[in-house]
Amino acid sequence: MEYIDNSFEAVIGLEVHTQLLTATKMFCSCPNVFGKEPNSLVCPVCLALPGSLPVINFNAVKLAVKAALAINLNINKKSLFARKNYFYPDLPKGYQISQFQDPVSSNGYLIINIGEGKEKKIRINRLHIEEDAGKLIHAGYNSFVDLNRAGTPLAEIVSEPDLSSPAEAAAYLKELRDILVYLDISDGNMEEGSFRCDANISVRKKGDTKLGTRTEVKNVNSFKFVEKALEYEINRQIELLLNGGKVIQETLLFNSKTGKTESMRGKEEAHDYRYFEEPDLSPLILDEKFIAEIKNSITELPRTKRERYIREYALSEYDAEVLTQYKEVANDFDKLVDINNGKVDIKKIANWIINEWMLELKKKWAADNHERVIERAVEYNENSIPIEKVINEELIKFEMEKLIGKREYFFEMIMKIESGEINRNGGRLVLYQLIENVKRRKNQTVDEIIRDLNLAQVSDEKGLEDTIKQVFEENQKELEDLIGGKDKLFGFFVGEAMKKTKGKANPKKVNEILNKHIENYKSGK
């Protein structure tokens, strides 16, 4: 990006909090779910009632270790839980159970794409486990506390200040979120707060090695807003320094309506939290066998999958990106490649998924869920997020996986096109019907759909010969012009033949017969 003075550079570090996909909370047995009646998912542990004691949710530990290994962190065989002391209305205990000096993992890295085929290694300081706080709801002059979220298991992932631009920050967040979602560690839902980011930003003159005074922008909940918040804050700090002012270390919030950062409070240093070891929890001890089992359970990550698609299938970067954007789509593509076993060019399968299947699902879902789209669009448009994002996010969440069991039908449809039994338009109609059948729970084979919709291509040579002769008789002037050298009219005759057969003629056969007759006319036969 262009800064108001390009003699400055930005230094950015990110702290990501991601909720872990466990059935229960971090230290109690309350359900870990979103959207229930306020304060309906609480217990004495969540509410910090006297005498209640925390118990570690080991499934949360497994997910945190899995996340740490996926981003190349070292697992510490002994880690400690600590009390992070601060007072806020949504923190019933008056402290948060977290990890401080002895986290579960440390010293890792993540490789990101920074454009023009370039990559950058971003160091990660640590991933540690902690519990989430509750939620404050403000209405007019009143504020309400919902403690359903209190105690939800979190992994906090802290990068080193290796990011140099808002675009790099967004690329880092996207890569990290993709990994967490692929491995079922988190649902990555930024709108619901299960993946959120605090950004630490400072600026300095290019060539300086000393870091400037940093500010922290809290709880930014979309990639777009992270970029906008960073762009504004970087320019704000540069302008302040150019005018002889000083950057104050403080915590900020990003106002998406004004596009500006606003002061929230003076920034506390770590020692202000008065960390000390949690006396009610034993040290967390992990052995080599446990760590190895988690490591072996990590499946192919999105970055590796993209690189494999480009290398093995000669797909473009764009196609590989789209196919790996959602785990369900990538898994289905992999299964279709297995079913294909070399029968069809893999690029054709990729094109059908990207340009037909996903597009048809988007249109269908948007039509069938009009009210849901509008409802979500109102929420998003308050933050200027395009409706396309609404459809994409909601589509994958509710619809995509329903077709996974029908992948054999999808492949059979492609083979029908390849063999000439149906044309591409017929394939689209079959695909549409397959999607309809999933919704209606109707089991119908591709052959049955082709028969019921009368989609079989006309490939009978005698019948097509008669059709083309009829087209010639009805368009004598155009035929003379074509013979006389106006080659562009060839497409006109193909179109007329397709009209006569109501689009069911085999285009390849039509082209062959037309070419034969035109050559005959030209040679005087």
pLDDT at 464: 77
The per-residue pLDDT for 306 is 93
Does 255 share its domain with 313? Answer: no
- Written as one letter, the residue type at 252 is L
> Percent of the chain at pLDDT above 70?
88
Q: Are residues 425 and 505 in the same domain?
A: no
What pLDDT, on the 0 to 100 scale, is given for residue 384?
Answer: 45
Q: H/E element holding 19?
A: strand 8-19
Residue 371 lies in a domain: yes
Q: What is the pLDDT of residue 389?
A: 54
Last residue of a domain, one of 257, 291, 325: 291
65 CB-near residues (< 8 Å, 6+ apart): 75, 104, 105, 286, 290, 291, 294
**Letter for the amino acid at 428?**
R
Long-range contacts of the stretch 462-471 (C-beta < 8 A, 24+): 464/497, 464/501, 464/505, 464/506, 464/509, 464/510, 464/513, 465/513, 467/497, 467/500, 467/501, 467/505, 468/493, 468/497, 468/510, 468/513, 468/514, 468/517, 470/500, 471/496, 471/497, 471/500
| Amino acid 508: pLDDT | 77
Mean pLDDT in residue range 429-443: 77
| CA-wise closest residue to 354 among 336, 341, 372 | 336
Dihedral sign for Cα atoms in the order 151, 152, 153, 156? negative
* Average pLDDT of the residues of the chain: 86
The better pLDDT of the pair 397, 320 is held by 320
By the 8 A CB rule, do 278 and 53 touch? no
358: which residues sit within 8 A by CB, 6+ positions away?
322, 329
Q: Which of 14-18, 300-304, 373-377 has the lowest mean pLDDT?
A: 373-377
Structure tokens at 349: 């399968």
Q: Do 192 and 315 belong to one domain?
A: no
Domain end call among 442, 472, 504: 442
Q: Are the C-beta atoms of 219 and 226 separated by less than 8 Å? A: no
The pLDDT value recorded for residue 128 is 98
The top-scoring range by mean pLDDT among 98-112, 203-217, 252-266 is 98-112
Asked if the model's pLDDT at residue 400 lies above 80, the reply is no
Any idea which residue has 């929890």 for tokens?
281
- Domain encompassing residue 473: 461-523
Look at 60-69, 204-213, 513-522 and tell me which has the smallest mean pLDDT. 513-522
Q: CA–CA separation, 363 vs 238, rounded Å?
A: 45
pLDDT in tens, 310-359: 999 999 988 998 899 888 888 889 988 998 988 889 999 999 888 887 77
Residue 364 shares a structural domain with residue 481: no
**224, 264: one domain:** yes
**Residue appearing with tokens 């109102």:** 378
List, in order, residues 6 or more apart from 390 with CB less than 8 Å away.
373, 376, 377, 380
Answer yes or no: do 133 and 41 share one domain: yes
For residues 475 and 78, the model is more confident at 78
Instruction: Output the pLDDT for position 524.
Output: 66
Q: Do 240 and 336 share a domain, yes or no?
A: no
pLDDT digits (tens, 9 = 90+) for 270-281: 457 899 999 999
Of 48, 57, 46, 47, which Cα lies nearest the Cα of 21? 57
Please calculate the CA angle 110-114-119 and round it to the nearest 5 degrees. Answer: 55
∠ CA 32-36-42, nearest 5°, is 55
CATH number for position 494:
1.10.10.410
The alpha carbon dihedral of 258, 216, 153, 167 has a sign of positive
Confidence class for position 302, pLDDT limits 50, 70, 90: very high
Same domain, 417 and 349: yes
75 against 423, higher pLDDT: 75
Query: CA 299: distance to chain centroid?
Result: 17
Least confident among 191-195, 391-395, 463-467, 495-499: 391-395
pLDDT of 392 strictly over 70 = no
- Residue 131 falls within a domain, yes or no? yes
**Residue 126 backbone dihedrals phi, psi, to 5 degrees:** -170, 160
Residue 2 in any domain: the answer is no
User: In this structure, are 249 and 141 located in the same domain?
Assistant: yes
Average pLDDT over residues 148-159: 97
**Number of Cβ within a 10 Å radius of residue 91:** 20
pLDDT of residue 476: 83
CA distances, 282 to each of 44, 82, 93 (Å): 20, 11, 19
Q: Which residue has the tokens 């396309």?
A: 388
Half-sphere exposure of 310 (CA within 13 A, CB side): 14
For residues 415 and 466, membership in a common domain is answered with no
Q: What is the pTM of this model?
A: 0.81
Residues 282, 299: Cα–Cα separation, whole Å? 31
Q: pLDDT at position 393, please? A: 54
51: alpha, beta or left, given left = phi > 0 and alpha = psi -120 to 50?
left
What's the pLDDT tens digit per position in 408-427? 888 888 888 888 788 888 88
Lowest pLDDT segment from 1-10, 51-60, 390-399:
390-399
Please state, in angstroms and rounded to a whole number, the distance separating the CA atoms of residues 370 and 384: 19
- Asked whether residue 501 carries a pLDDT value surpassing 50, the answer given is yes
Contact indicator for 96, 293 with CB cutoff of 8 Å: no
Domain end, chosen from 226, 258, 291, is at 291
pLDDT at 70 over 80: yes
Close Cβ partners of 262 (under 8 Å, ≥ 6 residues apart): 252, 253, 254, 255
Spatial separation of the C-alpha atoms in residues 414 and 305, rounded to whole Å: 23
Highest mean pLDDT among 344-348, 440-444, 498-502: 344-348
Average pLDDT on 48-60 reads 96
Q: Which amino acid is at 394?
A: E
The reported pLDDT for the residue numbered 382 is 45
Give CA–CA dist 61/155, Å, rounded.
9
pLDDT in tens, 456-473: 776 666 777 778 888 888
Type and span of the H or E element at 121: strand 118-131
And the tokens for 354?
A: 């990207």
**What is the predicted pLDDT for the residue at 292?**
97
Choose the weakest-confidence range: 156-165, 289-298, 403-412. 403-412
pLDDT of 37 > 70? The answer is yes
Between 359 and 367, the more confident residue is 359
Residue 450, domain member (yes or no): no
Percent of the chain with pLDDT over 90: 50
Give yes or no: residues 518 and 396 share one domain: no
Q: Minimum mean pLDDT among 34-43, 172-181, 256-265: which range?
A: 256-265
Q: Supply the DSSP string of 358-404, one letter for each residue.
A: HHHHHHHHHHHTHHHHHHHHHHHHTTT--HHHHHHHHHHHHTGGGGG
pLDDT given for residue 374 in this prediction: 54
Q: Which residues fall within 8 angstroms of residue 355, CB to CB, at 6 or more apart?
A: none
Residue 210 is inside which H or E element, if any? none
- Which amino acid would we find at residue 320? A
DSSP secondary-structure letter at 352? I
CA distances from 496 to 167, 313, 442, 468 (A): 51, 38, 37, 8
448 within domain boundaries:
no
Contact partners, residue 172, CB within 8 Å, separation at least 6: 14, 110, 112, 122, 159, 163
The alpha carbons of the chain give a radius of gyration, in whole angstroms, of 30
- For residues 401 and 506, membership in a common domain is answered with no
Residue at 387 is within a domain: yes
Q: What is the pLDDT of residue 130?
A: 98
Residue 1, in any domain of the structure: no
Domain count for the chain, please give it.
Answer: 3
Work out whether strand 195-205 and strand 284-285 pair parallel, antiparallel, or are unpaired: unpaired
Specify if 305 maps to a domain: yes
Give the pLDDT of residue 121: 97
